[in-house]
Chains A and B, each alone.
Chain A
Amino acid sequence: MLKKTFSLSSLKIGDCGRVVDFLIDGDFRRKLLGIGIYPGVRLRILRTGPFGNPVEVLVDDSLFVAVRRREARNILIEPCNEKN
């Protein structure tokens, strides 16, 4: 069954998404992997900064990470559901 994937930047406050893949590689992707944002991990949008930027994300119910909306476009997620 095909799951719809969105980018992290399209989520609204309160939404939950599970990371599927990235649209970039290189330093930025390695930074994300190192900070805790990797395929399979659950993200929840907590809030945004002034003018909607940056986005504060709760990662794995454990840590808080800030990502710029423009850069968040490179993180592909699928919606969370009960099972995941």
Chain B
Amino acid sequence: MTNDFDDTTRGFDETDFYPENMAGPRDLDLRPVPPFPFLLFASGLYSWRSPIIVGPIPPLQPIPFPRPIPVNPEMPIPDPRPGPRPVGIQDQAVDAASLSLFGNSEDLRLDVDGRYPQMTASGTIYRAFSHRTHWIARLTQTAPNSYTGQIWYKDGDTATFPFTNVTITVVKSLFANQRSATLVYTGGGSTYTRTFRFVSSYFHKAEFEYDCETGAPATLQYNTGAHPNKPAGMPAELLTIEKVYQRAGIDATRSPNSTVIPNDGPDPNTTWSDAEMHDTMQVYWSRFANLPQWAMWVLFAKQHDMGSSLGGIMFDSIGPNHRQGTAIFTNSFVANPPAGDANPAAWVNRMFFWTAIHEMGHGFNLAHAWQKHLGTPWIPLVSDPEARSFMNYPFRVSGGQSAFFSDFQFRFLDQELLFMRHAPERFVEMGNADWFDHHGFEAPDTGKETGFALELNVDRSKPLYDFLEPVVVEIKLTNTLAEPKIVPDSVLKDLHNIMLITKKEGRAARTWAPYAQYCQLPSAIVLKPGDSITDSIFVSVGTHGWLIDEPGHYAVQAAMTVQGYDLVSNPLRLRVAPPRSFEEQYVAQDVFTEDAGRVMAFDGSQVLTSGIAAWEEVVARLPQSRAAVHAKVALAMPKAKIYRTLDIDAIKGGKEVKKQFRLAKADAKASRDLLNSALMDAPDAVETLGRVDYAYYTDKFSATLKKQGDDKDARRVSDAAAQAISEAETPKQHRTRERKSAA
């Protein structure tokens, strides 16, 4: 929606075109065109997203047979030990010139005209969802469509953002898709230009859902001309809560899911505690979720436990996500007009309307006008006890509420608008909070408009793992739109683009980083509507060590960037059972080591001897265990083919170092025995390996048998694997079966 036609000088407001009784989304197609002449505005939200670069599939090149490496004594080849861990997302210093390489995006909020312009621009640069830089600049106009200014605020990953000034040139148009803004960053020894596409005349979106207790009517609008005490010259209009916030730059909409909450207990006049309101919010708010979102629940209720002295409250300081719920109390002092008032009914209506917007302002993290300097303000703020703002108490100013409303314009102050429009999103967005202790998945752009859903699942009926059992989770990316989407075929294999965090109950969250990263030329696949791609991730161990080892409760969550959008998965909760025997505790000392972790992660080794020994011990001492299934696969895979190792031998008595590849013969029988035992004989192989990895290993097993000339056995493996996979229940099937049994 655009407020291009919002001409404040003529008292002309685009929202006048919308009927006040409209609930739910507005129908943009019915919006009439205002008469000439009209003004085009530059203010609003602009966006840039990096495209996915897809190249042609190169022809396969034959891998040459290894030749001896020429020896150069001046350039010794280092020992074949694990080197420094691969550079992960947290280590990369992305400079401005490479902003376009990794699925980045940028937003620009330009605030130079329209309603209450702040002559400000702000921007957010998103890199790989966990890196974010936010800046704010004060602007002056230098030409009809050009603005320039100094950056006075930076937040987030500022080390890679050296710029000190911005120059912005705007292209206006009647048609949204032809509007753009070109921004030139300068200063700090660098210059960088970015062109943004227009997105919206508003700076943020927010949805408000209003519910009422039986007998507590909601006040959602007010006729500003109804009460005689008002600023001289202020036009009379029917003002809605949404319109107030729209004028503040928020694309505010009203949820269609309003509910009247029954009060059918023994005492219909029972009062509300904060905890009760929070519980009710969880039940009745259609959008309740323990995550940040631009949405708020507003309850009109009779009275709080505090009594009639509390007219309203932003009660949601409970749980992990605050500021999502507010309440207004109809049986409070707000309902009591001053004695002798000229229009008591209008006075009360105005106060309830004002109180609702006031409490919702707290949901946007606005403080009272006299509290600005308290707590931790986002920038140094000056308190103003005389402020004519929704965030002041009318009765606190000199002259009381009469003086307040005599010059109150039903708006927020400029410093409040600056905050709501331009502060870092996490400061304003309802429910925004640190994620997983001190780890920050910064509030991602996970709006429904991304068209993707990211899920983590375990391929078993209950997320319960045996002690020592390697944890393999399934990661799934789904196209949630009604149109096809193109994604790289390796989108779930490029682990540098996926951030995974595990957290054991009682411990700090830790980032999982893979032992290896793969650089591939991406090719594209088409995801039809509703289609998914799936892959597996072995999350127990990585370059940061073993993350899932001891018994206890864990949570795992993933995030990634696809087509410039940040996706965050569900938090997957799982449990590791305690050891059942002394044997398990004994072998754990060798299993939970780096070498053993690497052997498991790379499906085997012939050089990490201590790691190999650890898994051999698992097979010997715990042959029926789930850990043994994984161990047998890791021990079998290197034996299935000719295995190449790099040997470095120092020649006795001399400085010459002999380096050569050594080829170990395949041990087909040993490999076959181990894989048969793990994949064909173990009853829970599918469940412990997961379908994705089980299918992968059985495919490789079958292919190896075929290569060895045993077609019959290859077919046996394929057929048995297909049957095992089809017989293994999905978690959904398991729940359905349990429900039927219970019935």
Q: Do A and B bind each other?
A: no
